Structure formats: C-alpha cells, structure tokens
Structure 1
Amino acid sequence: MNKKSILLSERNRNSVQKTGEYISSRVIVDKTTQCWNWVKSIGNDGYGKAKRKGKTIRAHRLSYTFYKGEIPEGMFVCHSCDNPKCVNPEHLWLGSHYENEIDKTRKGRRSPSPGVSHPHTLLKGEAHPKSKISDKMAEEIYILGLQGFNAKEIKLKLGLLICDSSIQRIISGKSWKHLQLDEKHGLPLPQNIRKINASAKLTAQSVIEIRASQHLSVKELSHKYGVSPANISCILKRKSWNHI
C-alpha cells in the first residue's frame, strides 16, 4: 500500500470515528423501548436534524447510513418503533414510497386530505416533540375558557409558560382539535365565549363583582372597572357575559 492509500485509509477511519461520536453524543437511550432518542435539533415534523459536510439531513437517515449502509435512491428509512426521534439502527428499515405510506396509514399518521401526493407526519397534542403542555392540561384550559376565564387568568391559575395566543386558540377550538373537546363537553361554543381573549379589560370575577355592586351607579362602575357605561349596562342586563 503506497503512502497516498495509507493516508486516505487513515482519513476514512477518522471520518467514521467522528460520525459515530457525533451520533452517540446526541442521543439518550430509553431503557424501556431501546429507542435512541435524538436530543439535539428537532424539526417541526418531529424528526431529528443532523449536520454533515455543511448539509442538514434527518438524523435517522444518517444513523441508517452509518450503521447499515447506503440508502438506495427513492427509498425511505422507516421506524418500526413509530418514534421519529429514534435513531437506533435496529429500529430502522428501508421501504418504498408505497410501503412508507402503508406504514403511515396503519399507524394512523397519514394525512386525511384527499389528493395529497406526499402526506406529512401528524404528531398531535402531547405527542408532538415541541408541545409544552399535556392533553389533560389542554382540556383544563378549554374548560376554564368556557367558564369565562381569559387567557391571562388561565395562565396564572395553571402556572403555564405558554403564550396567551396559544391559550386562546385552545379555548376557541382552533388547536388541539383531535381531543374533540367541544363534543366531549356538549358544546358548540357561544360566540361571546369565543371572543374572550388576553386583551379583555374585564374578567369573569370582575363581571360577578359588577353584578353584585347594586349600591354603585353605572357611571361609578364604569369608572371603577375602566369600561364604558354601555358595557356596564349590557353586563347588568345580561346582554353580554351571559354565560357567567
């Protein structure tokens, strides 16, 4: 073997070693499932993101290539564990586009929209790697919203670290739809509850106080709570906030 061949062989060994170290330093092994969970950068689709030679690639594809070999053109790297963050080569298998779609459908992850050529993985609720709350917490938010609490009150009451708009989307039914909370709690939502938001000047508690303050005039209540006399009048006559 000439000097050039020896040098190339040494470089290849170093490259292999670095790739192995790169993968192992970015995973935590789940002792129950044996999944190698990627703990560095995670994409919106739930898959780990790796960087090699200046390019961003999916971490499970890097792992498959490193431990099992090249991925033939047009083939997909699929998960037997159904965990997109997992890069354990023993949980990875090659499949065609058709096999990948069949696997998604069987596991309930295929997009239901007809005519979509490349349906994406749908990780819903607490199953999404970027979710900051649980399904149970989303339901609590929804119920409090129906009771008249606004986003700021709910965040304070439950000690949440998510933004007001995220809470409002749950209350209005625009997010966490898979929980079917409106059906579970016998709704649709009244329009006045849908309009409760973080910028509301009044809270459910202040509305209760207004209705209990019969010794104060409409003008005095208006000044005390910082809303117009017309709003106070509507509250007293139950033309607004009638869910309280």
Structure 2
Amino acid sequence: MKTGYGRFGIGSTNVWQAHRFSALLAWGQLSPGALVLHRCDNPACVRPEHLYEGNNFDNNADMVTRNRFNLPLLRGTKNNQAKLTEDQIREMRKRFNGGTSRTQLGREFGVSRQTASGIIAGKGWGWVE
C-alpha cells in the first residue's frame, strides 16, 4: 500500500522510514516507542524542523485535528493483510452450519479457532452475507 512516506533499505533487512531516519540524525536517539510526526502534514517531508516526536495519542489527535480520519476502510480482500476471501468466509459459515467444528475450520482455512469463532459469530467479516 502506498502511503506517501519515503522508505529506503540499509543492508539486506533494515528498512527505514525516511522521516524517522531524518529525525534520528537530527536529534539522536528517540524515546522508546516514539513516533515521528509531521507539522507540515506532508508524509514525504524529511525536514527536521517540520517533524516532532509524539506517541499514538498525539498521532490520533493530529489526525482528527487535520480531518484525515475519514480514510476508506480497507476490509476484506481490499486489505492486503487479509488471510481469507469473502468466498472462503461464506464457505466457512456454511460448513459450520453443516456441523464442522470451529477448530477444524480454523485448521482447514489456516486461522486460529478464535478467529474462526469470530467469523462464524459475525464479529469478523460481519458485512459478508
């Protein structure tokens, strides 16, 4: 998914967000768990004077203040981290109604029993009929 944030690799496994790397160079070590936020609201910006250190609360408050919280929800197969498809969800529910256990469905579909239970109960993938 393209986010507008610059990224680059160092070595074979280290991938850095450009604005985080810029902050590290300018300020030194960041606080544990700290986020690097933009004053300018430009994800590609790496100017240290446009950046500040914050936490999740600060980031969410900034998102609301700047009216950026109405981003489209990427659910189902539109979310690139989805393990299942809408058709698999329908099949899982159909097979559960036919007597297959949650544990067995989890194994067959490659998810945990808890995930299978949530899907069957409509807590996960609830929009799928």
Q: What's the TM-score once normalised by structure 2's chain length? A: 0.51
2:111 is aligned to: 162
1:123-147 per-position Cα deviation (integer Å, ceiling 9, x unaligned)? 3223334322222212211111122
Query: Runs of at least 4 residues of structure 1 off by over 4 A?
Result: 69-73
| Change over 3 Å in CA distance of 1:71–1:143 after alignment to 2 | farther
1:56 is aligned to: 35
1:97 aligns with 2:81: no
How far apart are 1:169 and its partner, in Å? 0.9
Structure 1 alignment gaps of length 5 or more: 1-21, 27-39, 42-48, 74-95, 110-121, 182-244
SS in 2 for 1:25: strand
2:62 is aligned to: none
Aligned counterparts, 1:1-244, within 5 A: 23-25=7-9, 50=17, 51-52=20-21, 53=24, 54=30, 55-57=34-36, 61=43, 64-66=44-46, 97-98=66-67, 100=68, 104=71, 109=72, 122-156=73-107, 159-179=108-128, 181=129
Q: Take 1:174 and 1:126, find their aligned partners in 2: how far apart are those partners?
A: 17
Alpha-carbon RMSD? 3.7
Structure 2 alignment gaps of length 5 or more: 1-5, 25-29, 52-64
SS in 2 for 1:174: coil
Number of residues of Structure 1 aligned to a counterpart in Structure 2? 92
Larger Rg over CA atoms: 1
- Counting aligned pairs with the same residue, the percent is 12
Structure with more relative contact order (C-alpha pairs < 8 Å, separation 6 or more): 2
Residue type of the alignment partner of 1:56: L
SS in 2 for 1:65: coil
Contact preservation (8 Å) 2:103, 2:112: no
Q: What's the TM-score once normalised by structure 1's chain length? A: 0.30
